[in-house]
Amino acid sequence: MSSITKKKGSISKRWFGWYFIIPGLLFHIFAVSIPSLMSLYLPFTEWNGLNVPKFIGLDNFVEAFQDKVVGIAFINNIKWALFWITIPIIFAFILAYLLVKVKKGQTAYQSIFFSTSIITVTVAGQIWFWLYNPFSGVNHYLEKTGLDFLSIPGLTNPSLALYSVLFADMWKGFGGNVIWLLAAMSQLDKSMEEAAKIDGAGRFRILWYIIIPQLRPTLVIITLLTVLNAFGAFDMVYVMTGGGPAHATETLSTYYYSLSTTGRRAGYASSIALFQMMIAIVLMIVYGVLKKKKGWDV
């Protein structure tokens, strides 16, 4: 009798832990697992977000490949990625290289450069939207002072609107890269740099052959995260232009957002979102292959 009681007691203790796990597990199933599975099914349906999804096979993907706006948005995402892995990273690298040489007040400079990164996207977007405004922004005051030849096209010129948004996004986000690179530079092996100086190496050679190779892991991970973020670009574009004018600043994220909300085409929007996810998967696979072949340790 006692053995049966002990056995029942051990079983109850074993199941006792599940009472704590079940609430979180149920939340994960209904809030994460089921929506994830639905996101793989909805791209193959015709659905306006309200009625029952109707399975239509690959029709959404065929339409997406024929949709000119999807092409424009995809090119804009590529431009976004190319911009962010060049100008902001180079600018952040130069600032970090100069800051690491500063002995006094380095923390103050770090705070100044990082201050824009803690501003919310909504506030930053509205600041730059006001600056670009032709009726109340910088151009308005330049015209008043007779310096209208210095006016900037801003968001009114479709061919330059994307770069105007990119500049605003760089102003907000490049400070994070500065901190990353500064932290990495602070941990470099100084003995190699000192040995190079003794051998007569100049500053550029030390930078190219000593500092940059040691920073490769940090630069690789910054570049990877930058490209992934570029193909998910949404917030700054949505706040400043909403994808306009004439889809000039449209990205994949803003396009499928507008399709799924005001456009009432949630099924078609899901197919574009799935295409965006596949891009991220391909990028991760390419990175994994290069890491294995090139020995990129991060």
Reported as a single tens digit per residue, the pLDDT across 206-233 is 888 888 888 988 898 899 899 999 999 9
- pLDDT tens for residues 79-91? 999 999 999 999 9
pLDDT of 2 reads 54
Phi then psi for residue 55, to 5 deg, are -70, 125
Nearest CA to 222 among 268, 176, 256?
Answer: 176
Going by C-beta distance under 8 Å and a sequence separation of 6 or more, which residues neighbour residue 298?
217, 220, 221, 291
Cα-Cα end-to-end distance for the chain = 59
Q: How far apart are CA 241 and CA 128, in angstroms?
A: 11
Collapse the DSSP code of 54 into the 3-class scheme (helix H, G, I; strand E, B; otherwise coil) and give the result: strand
pLDDT of 106 reads 77
Q: What is the mean pLDDT of the chain?
A: 86
Stated pTM of the model: 0.86
pLDDT of 139 reads 78
pLDDT of 269 reads 94
The stretch 67-74 carries a mean pLDDT of: 95
pLDDT of 154 reads 78
pLDDT of 156 reads 83
**Is the Cβ–Cβ distance between 185 and 215 less than 8 Å?**
yes
pLDDT of 16 reads 65
pLDDT of 102 reads 83
pLDDT band at 152 (very low <50, low <70, confident <90, very high): confident
